A and B are shown apart, each in its own frame.
Chain A
């Protein structure tokens, strides 16, 4: 009876993960870059299996406002292949380390026509069921200040100073009471008691 149970559990554990687990691909959500600069688009994946020899990464580019996407980089069989005909000729380089589940690419000398969506699709045979992940690239002439950065910074600094002043005040009081420091300033004597009414 026990043997049957052990055999059944081994079989189930062997079959079930293959059916239900999938590969998950991670990229950034959005990247901002300056015209003429380089940008590194990162792509990594999570898979329950070890990285196989046939791991593959495919990068596709879809310009803003277009429906078609074109392949610009591919890594398969241990070799990277990059665009040698299209808009990204000689500009894209595979800089990831597939053994470490990293399939990042480096795009050099950006132009305004590079605005668009880059999709990374990773496959780790036999783990091939997964959804590709996309990162949006925005190319600016001058990097705009992101919404809320200055606001948050001002609020944070002022509140931080407030908390700091309160903490220092109570710390000084505590230390004076403990006779660690001694203050030579004497407290003001109260003046005559006046009422504010005429």
Chain B
């Protein structure tokens, strides 16, 4: 059913629904990115929960925060820190740009700039998660497993990817 056959009120409702869905997708991506960046749970064992800012160690039934061990490759760790933070920043800026573009974009144009910001966020979180997967805990697979921050980082990669594709394709009515 093409758009011109729909009654006008119906068309407006559909557009509103699409915009709300897009915003929810974008906000969900931001929340996942923030959880992946802030929470120190990229790698979890029975007594520790670690990365990328510090390490939680369970001693005597109390969780204490300690520094990351010195044998971590410092440059890769700091690259992961920087790229996760940048992914959050770009996604948040992208949300504000999307809201601004809703009001200022001429009819028929695409949300390219919002798409660019989401794509950059996608790129940065992909870099972060890839570096982490490749360089950290490669010999400890039997001792622990990846924690929720790591999983959320990859899910956020997927969400930001989908979100940016939609922004590149969608035209404003």
Contacts and interface: CB of A to CB of B under 8 A. Distances in A.
Q: Do A and B bind each other?
A: yes
Interface of A: 144-145, 147-155, 158-159, 190, 193-198
Contact of A197 (B14, B79, B169): B14
A115 B2 CA distance: 78
Main secondary structure of the interface of A (DSSP, over half): loop
Contacts of A151: 78-79, 81-82, 85
B171 interface: yes
Contacts of A144: 74
Nearest to A191: B108
Given A154-B86, A158-B86, A190-B108, A197 B3 contact: yes
A116 B109 CA distance: 65
Contacts of A147: 78
A78 B52 CA distance: 54
A143 to B, nearest CB: 11
Interface residues of B, number: 23
A197 to B, nearest CB: 6
B17 to A, nearest CB: 10
B108 A154 contact: no
13 contacts: A149-B78, A150-B75, A150-B82, A155-B85, A159-B86, A159-B89, A190-B108, A193-B108, A195-B4, A195-B173, A196-B18, A196-B171, A197-B3
Given A196-B169, A197-B3, A198-B1, A148 B78 contact: yes
Contacts of A197: 1, 3, 14
Contacts of A153: 82
Contacts of A155: 82, 85-86, 89
B83 A154 contact: yes
A47 B156 CA distance: 58
Given A145-B75, A154-B82, A194 B171 contact: yes
B170 interface: yes
**Which 9 pairs from chain A and chain B are nearest by CB?**
A195-B3, A154-B82, A150-B78, A151-B78, A151-B82, A151-B81, A190-B108, A145-B74, A155-B82
Nearest to B15: A195
A149 B170 CA distance: 40
Contacts of B109: 190
Contacts of B86: 154-155, 158-159
Given A193-B108, A195-B2, A145 B14 contact: no
Contacts of B4: 195
Contact of B78 (A145, A158, A190, A193): A145
Nearest to B78: A150
Contacts of B3: 194-195, 197
A144 B69 CA distance: 13
A165 B169 CA distance: 23
Given A190-B108, A193-B171, A197-B3, 10 more contacts: A145-B75, A150-B79, A151-B78, A152-B82, A154-B78, A195-B3, A195-B11, A196-B18, A196-B170, A198-B1
- Find the residue from B79, B82, B85 having the highest chain A CB count within 10 A: B82
A145 to B, nearest CB: 5
- Find the residue from A194, A197, A198 having the highest chain B CB count within 10 A: A197
Contacts of B1: 197-198
Nearest to B75: A150
B125 to A, nearest CB: 13
Contacts of B14: 197
Interface in B60-88: 74-75, 78-79, 81-83, 85-86
